[in-house]
Structure 1
Amino acid sequence: MSHHSVSTTPASPVASYYAASANDSPTRAPLDGEAKADVCVIGAGFTGISSALHLAERGFKVIVLEAASVGFGASGRNGGQIVNSYSRDMDVIAAKYGDTTARALGSMAFEGNRVIRERVSTYAIDCDLKDGNLFAACSDKQMASLREHKALWERYGNDRLELLEGDAYRREIDSKRYVGALLDHSGGHLHPLNLVLGEAAAFESLGGTIHEQTPVVQITHGDTVRVRTQHGSVVADQVIVAGNAYLSGLLPDLEGKSMPCGTQVIATAPLEEAQASALLPNDRCVEDCNYLLDYYRLSADRRLIYGGGVTYGGRDPASVEGAIRPNLELTFPQLKGVKIDYAWSGNFLLTLNRLPQFGRINRNVFYAQGYSGHGVTCTHLAGRLMAEALSGQFDRFDAFAEIPHTPFPGGRLFRVPLTALGAWYYRLRDRLG
């Protein structure tokens, strides 16, 4: 067994609200022995399963290998918010990488959201899908940037945006924290683990195979690629590496160019119906406009799911609650002392330019990762682009693959301290407005 497969095998699933309320899902046997496929996908989160499902629909024979269980990583632990576009918007992309790239990415900025909705309706996935997400401004400066944000997204074709100036936002959020908000009617929220479990079942219904508890220990490149696991291997024409923050050494060249960050989430005990509908009368999800943002929404059983903060590495539940509860009570003083039933953290992958990293190694090993906090929609776009690229249509995949990614200063050793310093600077900036 190679040294890095141990760290990727988690002892047990995370005790998140999502894991506790997951739909029934079969346990899939680990890979044992040799297998052959057109495509081998490493990682059964949104990127891997979305890619696998698109490919199966196109008639490819696909085997998915997952170190833990389907949706174990960020896909099953995130805020469950369907937020359009990327962590850097088209104006920034245009300024840094030119109009052609901005136009290409802009034409795809709202597509991941559409893929999710199409999946949910085609395969009747039960994941509590609700419409509408809000960006809430904590200062006049943030409100001004929301007005620009609206104009920008409208230029790229999103005509479902509504600006809530001044107290108008109070029809959506019963909190005094904000000075206004932007409502994207085309966004929304859902139970992310149930979405990925539903997509996995859809993939299997088309003849696809998933092996859980099967960490990959080695990739041997060549005309066909051999993906070795502890007890077997898959030989495939093409491989997709979709492990994101949980890759542990499989793509060493990429490791200096991204950094796993933790986000922390708590879920309250179920609220009374009257209280829940007073907090968020139209059942939208919300994120604020701070650099280190807070995000929250109601679950189907009326819990407030509240997340935020960026840390480096996992945290135990007590310290997660300690970190997030004050923010929750600042936003909603009426919930002071509310019982917290679940607290968990999960890693997402941050890149220095905050844009996802897509690419190819030796022609037939593809990867997509580093969504920098915009994973729910962007992974679903990535799955479609992967399927296009593996079918020989590269133009849309390459629009992302051609974006240069620089390593974090100081390489792997200094990534965390320097970025922690960066986070400290931005926290100060949020505070000083």
Structure 2
Amino acid sequence: MNLLFLNDRRGKYPPSIYANTRLTLDPFARIRGETRADVAVVGGGYCGLSAALHLARRGYVVALIEAHRVGFGASGRNGGQIGSGQRQDVDWLEEHLGRDAARRLWDLAEDAKTLVRSLAAEAGVPVRDGIAHACRTESEVAHARHMAERLARDYGYDRIEPLDRDELAALLGSHAYAGGDVDRGAAHVHPLNLALGMARLAETAGVRIHENSHVHRITHADRADGKSILHCDTGRVICDHVVLAGNGYQGDLAPKVAARVMPINNYIVATEPLGDRFPEILPQGTAAADTKFVVNYWRLDDERRLIFGGGETVTYRFPKNIPGIVRPHLLAVYPQLADVRLTHGWGGTLAITMNRMPCFARPAANCLSASGFSGHGVAMATLAGRLMADAVAGQAEGFDAMQAVPTRAFPGGRALRTPLLVAGMAWYGLRDRLGL
């Protein structure tokens, strides 16, 4: 089962509001015949585009190979949230990795936000400030307050404001939650336009981008000074280094990575423009996400459409009625939108790991991989690309710090990922519905 082609038409963006409001970018030519490069990058999302851009700016000859269009995958379909920190909070990081490593990982995550803001500004893509975190229980509210105080005291990060039930309700326009916080240092963005803007920057820097070019096999160099070969459906790339940036769509290009990174699907809808109606919804223009395992997340776009993600399924094939999957979750937060039309509904594939921390790996002598961003990829995938570019250039400190975070294989490895997906999503979906 190849997730690259299971749910989408080749070379076509999904029917999302992002695709309808994207920047203009002419298609890039498919690879033809044999080409040579210093570095070949597989995957045209944030991670791959960032790696390619930073490598080209260092003077490397770079070929980026994308099976569909740049920004086709999770990078062009997600909720657009640029979150603070790692996917796990600093308490978890300190407990499992020690205080020094936790601080290093926090600083890298802050670098990730700065990098995204910088690239977005360079590409002319607006970034909006603020993400609210909505807690379902009083214990979660207490934990959110503890983390805000902890980050301000021990990490010098004072941008998070704890909120009680009424304060959060005023910020969201919803009384569905017990309280939470708002992170003024986090942000949100049109995700596909961010990817397309990065592609423009990469092309200007000299990256040779090839779309509609599927890498189905890699012959890796068996020594540090050898050549690797990317075998594509219409040509091949001979290179000194390979960067794997396919995330949930990477398939079996690196089997040891595939055993540690599980693709999962998520679904998003967009409402019709709300105009002057419902002024109580996100009046400060922040984005929001809640504490469910299958997270609900939402934001208003510039036309005041509510873009809302949530809901789970237990198969890799997208359901025929995506709005029907997401609408109950949307109405649980905003029952006042019961009569508002949903104009778009789309699915996408992201990737998670057992501990929800990214999987950084060296699958072969001259190959680097980063994946499994677990819903935290706008910032961390963009940073991962730069860290891999640094590592190719011999400055691997950041990459090594991320690689040092252990990522266990899923029980049974890749062979049992699909039954695990079915069991896991069914279980956590039930927990969310029961409010556990």
- Say if 1:110 and 1:158, in contact at 8 Å, map to a contact too: no
Distance of 1:177 and 1:289 partners within structure 2: 12
Task: Name the residue aligned to 1:14.
Answer: 14
- Say if 2:257 and 2:359, in contact at 8 Å, map to a contact too: no
Distance of 1:166 and 1:45 partners within structure 2: 37
The one-letter amino acid paired with 2:95 is A
How big is the shift at 1:204? 0.7
Equivalent residue of 2:94, what SS? Answer: helix
The 5 Å alignment of 1:5-404 reads: 7=5, 10-11=9-10, 12-121=12-121, 123-126=122-125, 128-154=126-152, 155-222=154-221, 223-275=226-278, 277-311=279-313, 312-318=315-321, 320-404=322-406
**Cα deviation code 1:42-73 (max 9, x no counterpart):** 00001000111111222222110000000110
The 5 Å alignment of 1:420-431 reads: 420-430=422-432, 431=434
**Cα deviation code 1:230-265 (max 9, x no counterpart):** 222111111101011111221122222121100110
The one-letter amino acid paired with 2:200 is A
Structure-2-length-normalised TM-score: 0.93
* Cα pair distance change 1:35/1:349, threshold 3 Å: same
Distance of 1:313 and 1:150 partners within structure 2: 37
Distance of 1:153 and 1:417 partners within structure 2: 38
Distance of 2:43 and 2:288 partners within structure 1: 29
The one-letter amino acid paired with 1:406 is R
The one-letter amino acid paired with 1:362 is A
- Say if 2:260 and 2:359, in contact at 8 Å, map to a contact too: no
How big is the shift at 1:7? 4.3
The one-letter amino acid paired with 1:389 is A
The one-letter amino acid paired with 1:101 is A
Equivalent residue of 1:260, what SS? Answer: strand
Structure 2: stretches of 5+ with no match in the other structure = none
Distance of 1:198 and 1:70 partners within structure 2: 10
Identity level (%): 38
Structure-1-length-normalised TM-score: 0.94
- Say if 1:85 and 1:378, in contact at 8 Å, map to a contact too: no
How big is the shift at 1:415? 2.2
Aligned length: 427
* Cα pair distance change 1:243/1:432, threshold 3 Å: closer
How big is the shift at 1:149? 2.2
* Cα pair distance change 1:233/1:37, threshold 3 Å: same
Distance of 1:234 and 1:211 partners within structure 2: 11
How big is the shift at 1:300? 1.3
- Say if 2:387 and 2:399, in contact at 8 Å, map to a contact too: yes
Equivalent residue of 2:105, what SS? Answer: helix
The one-letter amino acid paired with 2:60 is F
Distance of 1:170 and 1:418 partners within structure 2: 36
How big is the shift at 1:432? 4.2
The one-letter amino acid paired with 2:404 is E
- Say if 1:83 and 1:188, in contact at 8 Å, map to a contact too: yes
* Cα pair distance change 1:170/1:210, threshold 3 Å: same
Equivalent residue of 1:309, what SS? Answer: coil
Distance of 1:381 and 1:310 partners within structure 2: 28
Distance of 2:151 and 2:417 partners within structure 1: 33
- Say if 2:136 and 2:435, in contact at 8 Å, map to a contact too: no
Distance of 1:295 and 1:258 partners within structure 2: 22
- Which deviates more, 418-427 or 190-199? 418-427
**Cα deviation code 1:300-357 (max 9, x no counterpart):** 1111001012334241351x21111011112111111210100011010011111101
* Aligned alpha-carbon RMSD (Å): 1.9
Distance of 1:432 and 1:131 partners within structure 2: 29
Equivalent residue of 1:407, what SS? Answer: coil
How big is the shift at 1:6? 8.3
Structure 1: stretches of 5+ with no match in the other structure = none
